[in-house]
Structure 1
Amino acid sequence: MPLAPLFDPLAAGRPMRVAAFLSGSGTNIRRLIEHREKLATGGRTAPFEIIFLFSDRSDGHCAGEKIALENGLPYFSFDIRSFHAKRSLKRSVGTAEGLAARKEYDRVAKRLVDAFEIDVIALGGYMSYITLEKCVNVHPADLSITLPGGSRKYVGDDAVRDAILAGETRLRSSTLWTDEGVDSGPLLMVSEPLDVHLPVPVEDLVHNEERLLQVVDAHQEELKEIGDWKIFPLTIEMIAEGRFSMDENGKVHVDGSPVPEGFRGSTRA
């Protein structure tokens, strides 16, 4: 079965061009920039370049402008809340009207992506549903875990909370090649595990919302460090090297071999 690389460096004849999208603190994007700089040391050529940063917030609550300034990169923002408010629309894409509005909003970013000849969009804490293609997202859950019907068990904004309440003893982060669903695209990489440590039995946390939130937040922050910050840069690097590919059925391969539960090799980033 023929395989199509997510990016072919030999055919391109140049490093992969990446646009970094973010909404908040931008820690994943910082780690991506740092990783690229590390790859470019000692006279080496990094396999990818970060071309510009884009944010869906223009209200001063996104670190994108600061990160771009510190690294000499172009920065663009288009506030999605203002976009919807001016049109008296809700941000939900659950309706035909909402999805059409999101596609209209995304046309601005699409023009930038086309103008800068971007190969891959790196979604590092980008909190808006996106209709553009060729995006890599990072998610704070092991997306190889499924329900009996085959759908993914821990998706959406409350994935860490859901996993803890379900009694999972270990948490992982995942990277994925996005599709039209929510956390439903082809699974690329899964991180090393973070052990769950609860101060009280999970049955007690259910009845103490404040303490539950503290536990969830603490685990999510730690998971960023050992999960997101490792596999997100490494996924971009491996795509840029031509190591990730897909067959005609949308199944992911690494170095020509299928990885149905995500690549789980070295997380040296």
Structure 2
Amino acid sequence: MPDTCDVVVLLSGTGSNLQALINSVEPENSPVKIRAVISNREDAYGLQRAKDAGIDTHVLDHTAFEGREAFDAALIEVIDTFNPQLVVLAGFMRILSANFVRHYQGRLLNIHPSLLPKYKGLHTHQRALEAGDSEHGCSVHFVTEELDGGPLVVQAVIAIESDDSPHSLAQRVHTQEHLIYPLAVRWFAEGRLSLDEQGALLDGQLLAASGHLIRT
């Protein structure tokens, strides 16, 4: 059995990307071990998904803290009890402090529902349609202090259809998220993916600014 990479997942909502990660982990031969799932919302359905899979869960309510720095310091304490090699943001609806990001530099991944650097922030599907784009998709990236701005690892590109709505586009992008996020996590767990001063590296080679592109 390969050496395992211990992973902690942070989420705030339904946890569909967590479920994709859970489904991708084969107990006998996967290098990925999801040690814990942590949420800032006790009603997040992703916690139930974790419990169903026998994964430790923890709730840390951000409203109980005076400010972002205090919450993030407490969050670091909880995460570090599991000593993870990788922290995965899977719909964690919090802007992270610089101290938090620096603490996990090079071992913090996020997924965003656009082809970054386009459409950082919210309402990405609506914005892509309003702009008249022909393509849309999702991006996995290392997290840096710039919001949705870290080096790209992998992007999935889909064509925008003439009859697409924000809802239909979101559904098709979600399908791609559930493919590329487990892929990026596995690359990291296998020691193939890393971050240095130049950017994201895959198999020792610097990835292009757009990351590894997958077109469907």
State TM-score, norm by structure 2: 0.88
Higher relative CO (Cα under 8 Å, sequence separation at least 6) belongs to 1
Structure 1 counterpart SS, 2:7: strand
Per the alignment, residue 63 of structure 1 pairs with 45
| CA displacement 1:30-74 (0-9 Å, x = unmatched) | 00011013xx3xxx431110000000112x2x1133112201111
Per the alignment, residue 259 of structure 1 pairs with 207
Runs of 4+ displaced beyond 3 Å: none
Pair 109,162 (structure 1): closer, same or farther in 2 beyond 3 Å: same
- For residues 172-251 of structure 1, the aligned pairs below 5 Å read 172-191=137-156, 193-199=157-163, 215-225=165-175, 227-249=176-198, 251=199
Per the alignment, residue 52 of structure 1 pairs with 36
Larger radius of gyration: 1
**Backbone CA RMSD of aligned residues:** 2.0
Per the alignment, residue 91 of structure 2 pairs with 125
**d(CA) in 1 for partners of 2:185, 2:111:** 11
Shift of 1:103: 1.9
Per the alignment, residue 19 of structure 2 pairs with 30
Pair 265,167 (structure 1): closer, same or farther in 2 beyond 3 Å: closer
- For residues 43-122 of structure 1, the aligned pairs below 5 Å read 44-58=28-42, 60=43, 62-80=44-62, 82-83=63-64, 87=66, 101-122=67-88
Structure 1 counterpart SS, 2:36: strand
What percent of counterpart residues are identical? 26
| Matched-pair contact (CA < 8 Å) for 2:158–2:215 | no
**d(CA) in 2 for partners of 1:140, 1:122:** 15
Shift of 1:112: 1.7
Q: 2:135 aligns with which of 161, 164, 170?
A: 170
**d(CA) in 2 for partners of 1:57, 1:161:** 26
**d(CA) in 2 for partners of 1:116, 1:232:** 21
Structure 2 counterpart SS, 1:232: helix
5+ residue gaps, structure 2, are: none
**d(CA) in 1 for partners of 2:189, 2:54:** 22
5+ residue gaps, structure 1, are: 1-12, 88-100, 144-151, 200-213
Pair 265,243 (structure 1): closer, same or farther in 2 beyond 3 Å: farther
Structure 2 counterpart SS, 1:21: strand
Structure 1 counterpart SS, 2:25: helix
Q: Which amino acid aligns with 1:257?
A: Q
State TM-score, norm by structure 1: 0.72
Structure 2 counterpart SS, 1:176: strand
| Matched-pair contact (CA < 8 Å) for 1:54–1:64 | no
| Matched-pair contact (CA < 8 Å) for 2:6–2:32 | yes
